[in-house]
Structure 1
């Protein structure tokens, strides 16, 4: 199984956009094959020139191979899908008009392939670009038919070519208008999808992040704790919890106002986060109270983390409060017992916090 997967990755790449573009290229290969087969049948029936048909089939096969390389390397080369689609469309139109020239009475069948080319462009080109491509196709087709009538009037009667051109023009313009509407609808759906994804990301953030402090909120912290309880740690590493409460926060609100209180909360959040390790999680537990989860941490290590946090928080400036007032906090620290529910650990940390506040604040108490 490994070899087929590696071969598939080598041919199609790992980018979904590249795989989709190569899928479109494979579909065009099938159309080129069908067109070449029809041309060969007409050569055998004596309705098409052998040398011209062989030359045209060779040009088509070379073009298909070149576009295979361009599609595969488009991301590396920085070729936009719309640009690549336009190149392929121009080449396909030229091949179909060439087949129309070298084919006999059944040449009208290649006009149908022109419609298919425009339909394929719906997936990559904008409506105005498709309209320009339609105008280009009709211009080249009309000029080719005029040249054929003037050069080979017996083989290409003016009346027949006029009917062919009128039919092709009606069909091409109709398909272009329809595919243009489809393209607009596709773009609207794509934009709606992007808007929906952005809205979902915002909702997800609001559901897990405290808006004021940008820390995890209580709901998200509870989810983290539940996941931590379910996780089996074979190394038996300890986990600690710290319940933190800002000192004299009510007096800040009463003296300076709630805007200053919010500034204190934001300053605490920014300073505290700067001392966290990668595995630590700090959440706003409620009001001026915060819960700190310290996985794979002994009590000694936890004390050091909280002490560093206290020093950084005390040094954090808050312009909204004056008089050299510093932000301090009291903390209750508890180590989780083996397979103990986190609710019990939080309860012990809460009791330790109460002890820290009742014995003078701005200190860490162990539970």
Structure 2
């Protein structure tokens, strides 16, 4: 595995590009072996084949080096694909020139080059690469039929080029459509993932305050209840904004929403990363404090109460001050946290009955 990581790197995009490189290298190697076998039968000159084999090996090695260093050199994948495509086209045209009676088989390599480049190039770029390949092939075929018509009959070369051009352009068109479809599917996947993320957020977060919603808090209470006991106990507190209905009646529901948002932002600023504050319903909030002594929990609520009382509301009413009443309860042993919340709810009513704007512990 260390060797594989060393050769292919750790970055997923780099590994994907090098997988394409391996496939290309295997294909080139297969063609070279076939040509060498062909030359052993005396059907093609080994002297003309060896330079092509050396060129092919150079392409494979250079391609690997460029891919591995592309991030450091800032070479875009489209540039790499175009360069490899042009080198591959050159290799196929060279093979066509020396393959003799088997030269028609080498033409299929041009279409393979186009298909491989589809994964990295846009449809227009792939089309330009295919046209460049056909231009190079056409020039080569014209040169051979003009200077060696015995081995490259003009009529045969013309028909061969016409068939090759039609097939190559058809493959380019089809792969371009596949590339567009793949891009649309990728875009739809991204949109779906974004929508799922939004759904997950809406399922766990109160839209108005940005706090956890009641459902999410119930899940958190369940996780906390299943957590192995140890250390300090868990405290929960129910907080209720005092006279909130009066704020709505006098200043409107928009002002009430602003008060809820300001309260949530101010109260949350006092919490640790392990604490959790949720909108429990209306103007009521539930606070869970894991591993917290009752004395520390009460002190936190008092600081929070002072912060909330200091909130200024000049756009609503400069004389208006926000206060809240809180009922605090500490989990007893293996008590269900829902029972702890019920006890906190009972002492919350005691805090309201005692005049509000205070914290009462169970």
Per the TM superposition, whether the score is higher than 0.5 is: yes
Q: Which residue does 1:244 correspond to in 2?
A: 239
Residue 114 of structure 1 aligns to a residue whose secondary structure is helix
- 2:312·2:318 contact (CA, 8 Å) conserved in 1? no
Of 248-257 and 127-136, more deviation after overlay is shown by 127-136
Select the residue among 9, 12, 15 that pairs with 2:8. 12
Work out which of the residue numbers 126, 129, 133 in structure 2 matches 1:130: 126
Flag the 1:191–1:311 CA change in 2: closer, same or farther, 3 A.
Answer: same
- Of the candidates 292, 295, 299, which is equivalent to residue 294 of structure 2? 299
Q: Would the aligned equivalents of 1:256 and 1:320 in 2 still touch at CA under 8 Å?
A: no
Asked if 1:26 is matched to 2:22, the reply is yes
Matches within 5 A, 1:136-147: 136-147=132-143
The answer to whether structure 1 residue 315 and structure 2 residue 316 are counterparts is: no
Question: Does structure 1 residue 88 correspond to structure 2 residue 88?
Answer: no
Gaps of 5+ in 2: none
- Paired with 2:351 and 2:194, the residues of 1 have a C-alpha distance of 44
Q: Tell me if 1:48 matches 2:54.
A: no
Greater Cα offset, 147-156 or 200-209: 147-156
Residues 263 and 308 of structure 2 are in contact (CA less than 8 Å); yes or no, is this contact kept in structure 1?
yes
TM, length-normalised to structure 1: 0.94
**CA separation of 1:191/1:325 partners in 2, compared to 1, >3 Å: closer, same or farther?**
same
Whether 1:192 and 2:188 are equivalent positions in the alignment is yes
- Give, in angstroms, the shift of residue 271 of structure 1: 1.2
1:76-115 matches, within 5 Å, as 76-115=72-111
Please state how far the C-alpha of 1:77 moved relative to its aligned partner.
4.0
What's 1:347 paired with?
342
What is the RMSD computed on CA atoms of the aligned residues?
Answer: 1.6
> How many residue pairs were aligned?
362
Q: 2:328 matched to which residue of 1?
A: 333
TM-superposed deviation, 1:336:
1.1
- Relative to 1, partners in 2 of residues 1:86 and 1:212: Cα closer, same or farther, differing over 3 Å? same
Contact 1:243 1:292 in 2 (8 A): yes
**Structure 1 residue 12 displacement after superposition:** 2.8
Cα distance in structure 2, aligned partners of 1:86 and 1:304:
67
Residues 208 and 44 of structure 1: CA distance in aligned 2, closer, same or farther (over 3 Å) = same
Encode CA deviations 1:7-32: one digit per residue, 9 max, x unaligned. Answer: 33333333332222221111111110
Out of 356, 360, 366, the position equivalent to 2:355 is 360
Unaligned 5+ runs, structure 1: none
**2 CA distance for matches of 1:195 and 1:230?**
36
Q: 1:222 aligns with which of 218, 221, 224?
A: 218
Moved more, 146-155 or 326-335: 146-155
C-alpha displacement of 1:364: 1.0
**C-alpha distance in structure 1 between counterparts of 2:333 and 2:85, whole Å:** 68
Instruction: Name the CA distance, whole Å, in 2 between partners of 1:25 and 1:42.
Output: 25
1:258 aligns with 253
Q: 2:112 aligns with which of 109, 116, 124?
A: 116
Between the aligned partners of 2:347 and 2:340, the Cα distance in structure 1 is 11
**Deviation of residue 167 (structure 1)?**
1.5
The aligned counterpart of 1:286 is: 281
The alignment partner of 2:188 has SS state of: helix
State yes or no: 1:68 paired with 2:64: yes
Q: Deviations over 1:321-355 (max 9, x none)?
A: 21321211111111112221110110111112111
Q: Distance in 2 between matches of 1:236 and 1:332?
A: 23
Query: How far is 1:76 from its partner?
Result: 4.4
